[in-house]
Amino acid sequence: MPFPATNASLARALQARGYQDPTPVQSAVLEAEADERDLLVSAQTGSGKTVAYGLALASTLLGDAERMGEPGAPLALVIAPTRELAMQVQKELVWLYGDAGGVVCASIGGMDVRQEARALAQGCHIVVGTPGRLRDHLERGRLDLRGLRAVVLDEADEMLDLGFREDIEFLLDATPSERRTLLFSATIPRDIASLARSYQRDAIRIDTIDRAQPHGDIEYRALRIPPNQIEHAVVNVLRFHDARAAIIFCQTREAVRRLHGRLVERGFAAVALSGEFTQGERTHALQALRDGRARVCVATDVAARGIDLPGLELVIHAELPNDRDTLLHRSGRTGRAGRKGLCVLIAPFNRWRKAEALIQQARIEVLWGEPPSASEIRLADQRRLLQDPLFTEQGSPEDAALADKLLAERTPQEIAAALARMFRARLPEPEDAFDAREGGDGRQRERREPRERPDKRERTARKQRAEQGEGGEPAAHDPSFKRPAGPMVWFRMNVGRANNADPKWIVPVICRLGRVTKQEIGAIRIFDRDTKFEIAESVAAQFAAAVRRTSDESVHIQPASGSMHEIRKGGREGGADPQRRHPGPAKGPRKPRKERAD
């Protein structure tokens, strides 16, 4: 479908950029009923909304003319939540209005304020900026909004989330009352609706979001992993998919620093983004991603708002987001403008319920599975090597001469082996992550969804078995399991059935944190809130020292006190010290109760 009728100069700019078919939001804002009206638009990130409101402003700024007049006080103001989004919007509007002679100035926090002041003094047609910097220019008399004809609020929901409401209202109050107001937001919560009622007049509501399919171009996957395998899972996902550009989301700055350091250490070309970075560092990191010097970005939610990375193919939620909106905002970095994208949720066993709740709230279809194994990654590497453009590109005469010399001095097998080694040398090694599909005996297990929480009758039956001396669930994960010979020492781990504890992943965690082998682990008793297990006495002291030195945020191990009988019974539910179950000293016979008079 061709673009609806628009200004001739803008039509030429669209044609020069290869635009043929409009996106739904672009078609909607160009309808006849939307002409010269205030707009309240719901549109996803990556739906072409920047070009949409650029086209919608044409009738207000140009009318029937093909050229803008002399630049002076701005005619349009675009407010964006982040520096990256504001710079991206400026670039889009520069080429869209270039043939019409439009001058677009930027007013962005963290940039050179003196250069911006000079540009505003020289005159422009459109100003694009962030709320804080725009307010600063307005208060200092550098920005004149008295002649403004239109205001655009881009990603208004994010601006309110970031605390810019006061700045936005200050700017809107300084504009003429007869201006057009175009408000674009991924969601329309109560705060956005209130803002629209206060500053818009008879606005047309446009909703281009398919609620049943939040992002039709994004494939969602969730990976079941042990809690201690998050970094290994991230490494293997990056290696298996080999995306041209990927972004990994963490919750905190510290988590970003740690994961970024681990990826760089493993040989990934990675950059980091968080609130502690300066504007120069952020710009350098984003430019490295755009020109291909870096292929992985580790970021917090706030730092990644408004980022548009062309060719971003992969989004990894290394730490699950807190709510549905954050999940969709993160995932929306990929699958943009008709391109396909992949979104991977890393779901440790003890976070399955949260992952399932987020998926249900977002109404997305997710394929559950396990992280790619090292053998699967190596097979994918082989396929990529055989399909490498090196084999199809036309070589130069110098290349042919060198090939003849190599064949004269080396066998084809030696040359091919050297090529394979060179190809592998530039790739980070995959991790031998624990595969949830295999039990303790290494045999392939049937794939299954995260198990549901036992109903009340089942939990009661388990509790009765524990009270009868059977303890929790024993380590029967391996039919060939043999109890180690010699005396044993009991330890306690702070995860239980409530955390989806299972011997399949508990055993590798014990081995990793305690520097022991599977053969030195005895019985395992899983209770509702904790797990108790035996370690051979010959290595118990070494094991205790190792778990004290090992840092793990989600799993803590300590010696378990009490007798063997009490430990097997599990003490009080939730891992209370079995010693507390000992009855106190005898108190002697009770005194007879007084009879109550009728």
Give backbone dihedrals phi and psi of 491, rounded to 5 degrees, phi first: -130, 165
Q: In what order do the strands lie in the sheet with 180-185?
A: 104-107, 126-129, 76-79, 150-153, 180-185, 39-42, 204-207
pLDDT of residue 57: 93
Q: How many CA atoms lie within 13 A of 579 on its CB side?
A: 3
What type of residue is 191? D
Superfamily name and number for 8-207: P-loop containing nucleotide triphosphate hydrolases (3.40.50.300)
| pLDDT, tens digit only, all 598 positions of the chain | 456 667 889 989 998 888 888 888 888 888 888 888 999 998 766 678 899 999 999 989 998 888 998 999 999 999 998 888 888 899 999 999 999 999 999 999 878 889 999 999 999 999 999 999 999 999 999 999 999 999 999 988 878 877 788 999 999 999 998 999 999 987 787 888 889 999 999 899 988 765 545 555 789 999 988 888 899 999 999 999 999 889 999 998 899 999 999 999 888 999 998 878 877 788 888 888 877 889 999 998 876 666 767 678 899 999 999 888 888 888 888 876 557 889 999 998 878 888 999 998 888 889 998 899 888 999 998 888 888 777 777 778 888 888 888 889 889 888 888 888 888 877 888 887 554 444 333 333 333 344 444 455 555 555 444 443 334 444 444 444 566 778 899 999 988 888 778 887 888 888 888 888 888 898 899 888 889 999 999 889 989 988 887 756 678 898 987 655 556 555 443 444 333 333 344 444 455 444 444 3
Query: d(Cα 158, Cα 181) in Å, to the nearest integer?
Result: 17
pLDDT digits (tens, 9 = 90+) for 195-221: 999 999 989 998 876 554 555 578 999
Tokens at residue 373, please?
């194994």
Which 3 state secondary structure label does DSSP give 522?
Answer: strand
Q: What is the pLDDT of residues 283-292, one digit of tens each?
A: 888 888 877 8
Amino acid identity of residue 414, one-letter, is E
Which stretches does DSSP call E strand in 252-377?
A: 270-273, 296-299, 314-317, 341-348, 366-369
526 sits in which H/E element: strand 521-526
Tell me how crowded residue 254 is: count the other CB atoms within 10 A of its CB. 10
**341-348 and 180-185 as β-strands: parallel, antiparallel, unpaired?**
unpaired
CA 502/CA 438 separation, integer angstroms: 12
| CA–CA dist 189, 215 (Å, integer) | 19
534 bridge partner residues: 490
Q: Where in the chain is the domain with CATH 3.30.70.330?
A: 456-579
Q: How many CB atoms are located within 10 Å of the residue 444 CB?
A: 9
Query: Using an 8 Å Cβ cutoff, are 155 and 86 in contact?
Result: no
Question: What is the rounded distance in angstroms from the CA atom of residue 122 to the CA atom of residue 7?
Answer: 26
What single-letter DSSP state applies at residue 373? P
Tokens coding 497: 């059935």
Q: Which CATH number fits domain 218-376: 3.40.1410.10, 3.40.50.300, 1.10.287.130, 2.40.50.100?
A: 3.40.50.300
Cβ-proximal residues to 59 (8 Å cutoff; 6+ apart), any chain:
7, 35, 36
Global model pTM greater than 0.85: no
Phi, psi dihedral angles at 218 (to 5 degrees):
-115, 130
d(CA 576, CA 561): 10
Q: What angle, rounded to 10 degrees, do the helices at 131-139 and 165-173 form?
A: 40
Tally of CB atoms within 10 A around 121: 9
Question: What's the pLDDT at 595?
Answer: 42
Pairing of strands 366-369, 218-225: parallel
456-579 CATH fold: Alpha-Beta Plaits (3.30.70)
Start-end of CATH 3.40.50.300 domains in the chain: 8-207, 218-376
Contact 346, 318 (CB under 8 A): yes
Dihedral, CA of residue 146, residue 148, residue 154 and residue 158, to nearest 10? 10
In the chain, DSSP finds a helix count (H) and a strand count (E) of 22, 18
The DSSP output letter for 48 is S
> How do 314-317 and 246-249 pair as beta strands?
parallel
SS3 193: helix
Cβ-contact 191, 337 below 8 angstroms:
no
